[in-house]
Amino acid sequence: MNQGIEVIVYPVSNLAQAKTLYRTLLGVDPYVDQAYYVGFRVGDQEIGLDPYGHSKGITGPVVYLSVADIQSSLKQLLEAGAQEVQAVQDVGGGKLIASVKDADGNNIGLIQNP
């Protein structure tokens, strides 16, 4: 199922302040800088800032694992006892994301690239 960690997304309440902090921490400028998402690339790793994360009930970072078939992977996780947090959603360009919580409330993200 897992093809590797693709992105780690942090929910933030002040996007401008978080963008400054992560730019300083990571030593790079964002490659995506929108009101709805700011993304940084450090090598092959993406670090994202989501200003709407808290309103979605996300209280900490979400690690998104790259999967080949998001529908199948989501179904398998739900059958294994996960609780759906976010149904499959197209976030642009055919990129699909979804998320679940494990029994301890930890968020797990899935991402399928076009």
* pLDDT tens, position by position, 17-38: 999 999 999 999 999 999 999 9
Residue 60 host element (H or E): none
List Cα–Cα distances, 43 to 1, 15, 26, 37, 80, in angstroms. 23, 23, 11, 19, 33
- What is d(CA 60, CA 76) in angstroms, rounded to the nearest whole number? 24
pLDDT interval class at 2 (50, 70, 90): low
What's the predicted TM-score (pTM) here? Answer: 0.85
Please give the residue range of the domain that contains residue 27.
2-112
- Here the CATH number for the domain that contains residue 92 is 3.10.180.10
Q: What is the pLDDT of residue 57?
A: 81
Q: What is the pLDDT of residue 100?
A: 93
The total of structural domains in the chain comes to 1
